[in-house]
A and B are shown apart, each in its own frame.
Chain A
């Protein structure tokens, strides 16, 4: 079947079988290796993408589920202003990841900041539970996401006032 969807802001289409999982097609057809097929159980958080702004484990998603949706991978998100907010917020709080889970954590932060302009600790940790890596201290992560949310709000305010 042919599937049309928006990938990182561009209309794309691809042929896929019902058994194909989104993560494999992103890696093999589109060369997007930010999402990794590690556990293939949707538990490790390394395959996360944003589907219509919400976190989704691409290792469990049948490719046809992407039909008509907007998919944003880490590579696409890294080109946005929102990414710059999160990267700066993480740096400000001293968030240091192991180098494997950071893409998932950044996308999880993006999802929570998208939903709430002032995310609470509970909201942030609930979203971060999707990336259960032991490497990062949760408190620092919360500060990083809250700093990112503040930056995002500041940027929006400046844009509106211009």
Chain B
């Protein structure tokens, strides 16, 4: 049975050809449907004593962990978390029970009257210094002899850079609708990872994966906030549907979503750098702490990505990396426009401005001396297979932004400035980074995906992939790739709805994987069809399977495996002016340049980069989530402000042209990897001081003004 959109004016879900991804979860309902409300933990840590609901009217039901027919857990990248907390609670807002019933308002009143009794214990919130039992993942890598290199280094500098929690503000709050479709449990939800939803629901209901079918609804803008959390809510909806024997929908309010769902992990990178007399990097020492909140569902993957990105785009013969993913009694924290690399790029790129200054060089020249080259050793010891286009990117950015002249002028003004009335407080910063394309890096991550393609007798090509839950733009790109390869008109290429019964598992759709992994699979499947096209009778079907050859392996201080198959390289320049009285930074311009390999749709790539740059600048200037003393999210949704479009500076984007046969690379994370560090470097130059984290808050500015 297909869900009915409530909208009289909306699409008819029963109509032939309608794809689930066109439906909006908030508009879906089914006859006799019950709503589901979540009863949450009021405290951050303790033993759960009881959940007492008031007397429930007919048709309403309380669902407790004991009602779960299968296992009370979901698994994500090797980490486990309960579907409903059974004995212990671990963060404020953790689901401990569900209430299901037909009327949403009554359900709200009942949920408010339900009492959760917890024997409260002291929570753990420290994460930069932590106890060993808080560590859920650890990585250590040593290359060369860092201590010897530090002992003979000409200059040694130390720095520490923090990245705070951020809210995704995705297009629709999280939720799920569950209903029996004959003998299967059907789930509709906006998810980046349909097969994860399927497997989690099957585990919780005590069935097999084939007993569950997931039909993703419109995903919208997600910034990687809908990787695993929809699976938890799908389990809640499926439990309610099973126990009430009726369709069940859970849809969080914005406020509830804001307070209780996953946010960007907090991170702190302490680094020590050694330079020789010419300013060349001779030693690097990193200590990375990642606060992954309760359970740390993405901890393994995020820590791996943070550690391999620690050395940024630079070559250094002696490196030590020590990384810890640490749990605390806050809501689970995880991905945000990437899975952990951005805070590492932010730290080293921010420090690079200081290193250049210590070496008496401008940032562009210093980076040119230290940047990775073809054949340079990566942290795994493998040589880099391609030449990073540093000179071209830095050159284009320098020309577009007039970086060299402005940087020198602002340095002079800063050095000669006598007081706040003496000239504008301006600064300009430059950052360079890469976005690795390929599979996940941690052992617990799934690394086998496939795409199917069928060319029928009417020469129409149908692509099947569970990744089709993503945006129409991405789907259009796959269609174009297939159309180009097989010489078919674009309108003859279609992508089937991402139904787990019909589409093969293509893994989670993150910002970059749709373009890198899935697009490559589309191309391979089409190439396989092309080979057989004029030999075999139609229809011809082909399946392309992707398996990572060497999963990353950390042991005895060594990293083995492949960090990325290919990488997109990019740079950003940000120019800012500080208000002389309020010291508030005002961005004057933002320039981006990227090498994204073969660009299927240049105008869309530029628009994606501009949109990503706006998000990254907003996160750098305005956005910050504060946590209360009990680990709960202290802010309120409506106070969480993003930078209004009118306050954005002009954003200039350049993309390097590539050969038509070059691989397509993901670009979506590059703004997030470069813009914060460029902004930080610009603010630091304007103020003539170094700051530890973004946004640069009033306290940091007040301290700076005093000094």
Please indicate whether A and B come from the same complex rather than being unrelated chains: yes
Asked if A139 and B26 make an inter-chain contact with CB atoms under 8 angstroms apart, the answer reads no
Asked if B221 and A34 make an inter-chain contact with CB atoms under 8 angstroms apart, the answer reads no
Shortest CB distance B30–A (Å): 16
Contact with A along B253-283 (1 / 0, CB 8 A): 1110000000000000000000000000000
B648 interface hit (Cβ, 8 Å): yes
Q: Please measure, in the bound complex, the distance between the C-alpha atom of A141 and the C-alpha atom of B223, giving whole angstroms.
A: 20
A110-118, A126-134, A148-156 - the one binding chain B: A126-134
Q: Please measure, in the bound complex, the distance between the C-alpha atom of A28 and the C-alpha atom of B8, giving whole angstroms.
A: 10
Contact with A along B217-257 (1 / 0, CB 8 A): 01011010000000000000000000000000000011100
B7 interface hit (Cβ, 8 Å): yes
Instruction: Name the residue among B220, B473, B650 with the largest chain A CB count within 10 angstroms.
Output: B220
Shortest CB distance A152–B (Å): 22
Shortest CB distance A24–B (Å): 11
Contact with B along A93-104 (1 / 0, CB 8 A): 010101111000
Give the contacting residue for A38; candidates B10, B173, B648; CB below 8 A.
B173
B158 interface hit (Cβ, 8 Å): no
Asked if B254 and A38 make an inter-chain contact with CB atoms under 8 angstroms apart, the answer reads yes
A51 interface hit (Cβ, 8 Å): no
Shortest CB distance A102–B (Å): 10
Give the contacting residue for A138; candidates B9, B10, B648; CB below 8 A.
B648
Asked if B172 and A136 make an inter-chain contact with CB atoms under 8 angstroms apart, the answer reads no
Which residues on A sit within 8 Å (CB–CB) of B220? 98-100, 135
Please report which residues of chain A, range 50-100, place their CB below 8 angstroms from some CB of chain B when the two chains form the complex. Answer: 75, 94, 96, 98-100
Asked if B171 and A100 make an inter-chain contact with CB atoms under 8 angstroms apart, the answer reads yes
Asked if B221 and A139 make an inter-chain contact with CB atoms under 8 angstroms apart, the answer reads no
Q: Which chain B residue has the least Cβ–Cβ distance from A134?
A: B615
Instruction: Name the residue among A36, A125, A138 with the largest chain B CB count within 10 angstroms.
Output: A138
B511 interface hit (Cβ, 8 Å): no
Asked if A99 and B604 make an inter-chain contact with CB atoms under 8 angstroms apart, the answer reads no
- Interface residue tally on A, bucketed by range: 20 to 34
Asked if A99 and B171 make an inter-chain contact with CB atoms under 8 angstroms apart, the answer reads yes
B6 interface hit (Cβ, 8 Å): yes
Q: Please measure, in the bound complex, the distance between the C-alpha atom of A34 and the C-alpha atom of B8, giving whole angstroms.
A: 10
Asked if A31 and B7 make an inter-chain contact with CB atoms under 8 angstroms apart, the answer reads yes
Shortest CB distance B406–A (Å): 22
Give the contacting residue for A33; candidates B9, B253, B644; CB below 8 A.
B9
Asked if A135 and B611 make an inter-chain contact with CB atoms under 8 angstroms apart, the answer reads yes
Asked if A101 and B171 make an inter-chain contact with CB atoms under 8 angstroms apart, the answer reads yes
Which residues on A sit within 8 Å (CB–CB) of B172? 38, 100
Asked if B611 and A134 make an inter-chain contact with CB atoms under 8 angstroms apart, the answer reads yes
Which residues on B sit within 8 Å (CB–CB) of A100? 24, 171-172, 218, 220-221
Q: Please measure, in the bound complex, the distance between the C-alpha atom of A129 and the C-alpha atom of B218, giving whole angstroms.
A: 23
Q: Which chain B residue has the least Cβ–Cβ distance from A136?
A: B611
Asked if B218 and A125 make an inter-chain contact with CB atoms under 8 angstroms apart, the answer reads no
B380 interface hit (Cβ, 8 Å): no
Q: Please measure, in the bound complex, the distance between the C-alpha atom of A133 and the C-alpha atom of B644, giving whole angstroms.
A: 10
Asked if B171 and A96 make an inter-chain contact with CB atoms under 8 angstroms apart, the answer reads no
Q: Please measure, in the bound complex, the distance between the C-alpha atom of A121 and the C-alpha atom of B675, giving whole angstroms.
A: 23
Q: Please measure, in the bound complex, the distance between the C-alpha atom of A39 and the C-alpha atom of B258, giving whole angstroms.
A: 10
Asked if B651 and A134 make an inter-chain contact with CB atoms under 8 angstroms apart, the answer reads no
Asked if A137 and B611 make an inter-chain contact with CB atoms under 8 angstroms apart, the answer reads yes
Asked if A94 and B5 make an inter-chain contact with CB atoms under 8 angstroms apart, the answer reads no
Q: Please measure, in the bound complex, the distance between the C-alpha atom of A44 and the C-alpha atom of B642, giving whole angstroms.
A: 11
Q: Please measure, in the bound complex, the distance between the C-alpha atom of A40 and the C-alpha atom of B256, giving whole angstroms.
A: 12
Give the contacting residue for B26; candidates A31, A38, A43, A94; CB below 8 A.
A38
B581 interface hit (Cβ, 8 Å): no
Q: Contacts A100-B171, A101-B171, A140-B610 given; indicate if A134 touches B7 (C-beta within 8 A).
A: no
Asked if A99 and B5 make an inter-chain contact with CB atoms under 8 angstroms apart, the answer reads no
Q: Please measure, in the bound complex, the distance between the C-alpha atom of A67 and the C-alpha atom of B169, giving whole angstroms.
A: 34
A6 interface hit (Cβ, 8 Å): no
Shortest CB distance A9–B (Å): 15
Q: Please measure, in the bound complex, the distance between the C-alpha atom of A44 and the C-alpha atom of B641, giving whole angstroms.
A: 11
Asked if B646 and A129 make an inter-chain contact with CB atoms under 8 angstroms apart, the answer reads yes
Q: Which chain A residue has the least Cβ–Cβ distance from B21?
A: A99
A25 interface hit (Cβ, 8 Å): no
Give the contacting residue for B646; candidates A101, A122, A133; CB below 8 A.
A122
A16 interface hit (Cβ, 8 Å): no
Asked if B8 and A33 make an inter-chain contact with CB atoms under 8 angstroms apart, the answer reads yes
Please report which residues of chain B, range 87-132, place their CB below 8 angstroms from some CB of chain A when the two chains form the complex. Answer: none
Please report which residues of chain B, range 1-40, place their CB below 8 angstroms from some CB of chain A when the two chains form the complex. Answer: 5-10, 24, 26-27
Which residues on A sit within 8 Å (CB–CB) of B644? 125, 129, 132
Asked if A137 and B646 make an inter-chain contact with CB atoms under 8 angstroms apart, the answer reads no
Q: Please measure, in the bound complex, the distance between the C-alpha atom of A135 and the C-alpha atom of B255, giving whole angstroms.
A: 20
B472 interface hit (Cβ, 8 Å): yes
Q: Please measure, in the bound complex, the distance between the C-alpha atom of A122 and the C-alpha atom of B646, giving whole angstroms.
A: 6
Q: Which chain B residue has the least Cβ–Cβ distance from A132?
A: B642
Asked if A96 and B645 make an inter-chain contact with CB atoms under 8 angstroms apart, the answer reads no
Q: Please measure, in the bound complex, the distance between the C-alpha atom of A75 and the C-alpha atom of B7, giving whole angstroms.
A: 11
Which residues on B sit within 8 Å (CB–CB) of A32? 7-9
Asked if B253 and A40 make an inter-chain contact with CB atoms under 8 angstroms apart, the answer reads yes
B377 interface hit (Cβ, 8 Å): no
Which residues on B sit within 8 Å (CB–CB) of A98? 171, 220-221, 471
Asked if A134 and B9 make an inter-chain contact with CB atoms under 8 angstroms apart, the answer reads no
B637 interface hit (Cβ, 8 Å): yes
B182 interface hit (Cβ, 8 Å): no
Which residues on B sit within 8 Å (CB–CB) of A96? 472-473, 604, 607
Instruction: Name the residue among A31, A94, A135, A140 with the largest chain B CB count within 10 angstroms.
Output: A135
B534 interface hit (Cβ, 8 Å): no
B603 interface hit (Cβ, 8 Å): yes
Which residues on B sit within 8 Å (CB–CB) of A140? 607, 610
Q: Please measure, in the bound complex, the distance between the C-alpha atom of A158 and the C-alpha atom of B645, giving whole angstroms.
A: 34
Q: Please measure, in the bound complex, the distance between the C-alpha atom of A72 and the C-alpha atom of B93, giving whole angstroms.
A: 39
B178 interface hit (Cβ, 8 Å): no
Q: Please measure, in the bound complex, the distance between the C-alpha atom of A96 and the C-alpha atom of B501, giving whole angstroms.
A: 30
Q: Contacts A100-B172, A141-B645 given; indicate if A34 touches B614 (C-beta within 8 A).
A: no
Q: Contacts A98-B471, A99-B171 given; indicate if A40 touches B254 (C-beta within 8 A).
A: yes
Q: Please measure, in the bound complex, the distance between the C-alpha atom of A94 and the C-alpha atom of B648, giving whole angstroms.
A: 20
Q: Contacts A96-B473, A100-B172, A101-B171 given; indicate if A41 touches B254 (C-beta within 8 A).
A: yes
Which residues on B sit within 8 Å (CB–CB) of A34? 7, 9
Shortest CB distance B104–A (Å): 11
Give the contacting residue for A94; candidates B604, B615, B650; CB below 8 A.
B604
Which residues on B sit within 8 Å (CB–CB) of A94? 603-604, 607
Which residues on A sit within 8 Å (CB–CB) of B618? 134
Q: Please measure, in the bound complex, the distance between the C-alpha atom of A138 and the C-alpha atom of B645, giving whole angstroms.
A: 6
Q: Contacts A33-B5, A39-B637 given; indicate if A134 touches B645 (C-beta within 8 A).
A: no
Please report which residues of chain B, range 602-660, place their CB below 8 angstroms from some CB of chain A when the two chains form the complex. Answer: 603-604, 606-608, 610-611, 614-615, 618, 637-638, 642, 644-646, 648, 650-651
Q: Please measure, in the bound complex, the distance between the C-alpha atom of A135 and the C-alpha atom of B618, giving whole angstroms.
A: 13
Asked if B171 and A125 make an inter-chain contact with CB atoms under 8 angstroms apart, the answer reads no
Q: Which chain B residue has the least Cβ–Cβ distance from A131?
A: B645
14 contacts between A and B (CB under 8 A): A31-B6, A31-B7, A32-B8, A39-B637, A94-B607, A98-B471, A99-B220, A99-B472, A100-B172, A101-B171, A132-B169, A132-B644, A134-B611, A137-B610
Beyond contacts A31-B6, A138-B651: 13 other A-B pairs, Cβ-Cβ < 8 A, are A31-B7, A33-B5, A33-B10, A96-B473, A98-B220, A99-B24, A100-B24, A125-B645, A133-B221, A134-B618, A135-B221, A137-B606, A137-B607
Chain B positions within 8 Å of A, measured between CB atoms, are: 5-10, 24, 26-27, 169, 171-173, 218, 220-221, 223, 253-255, 471-473, 603-604, 606-608, 610-611, 614-615, 618, 637-638, 642, 644-646, 648, 650-651
Nearest first, the 8 closest Cβ-Cβ pairs linking A and B are: A31-B8, A33-B7, A137-B610, A100-B171, A125-B646, A138-B645, A135-B221, A98-B220
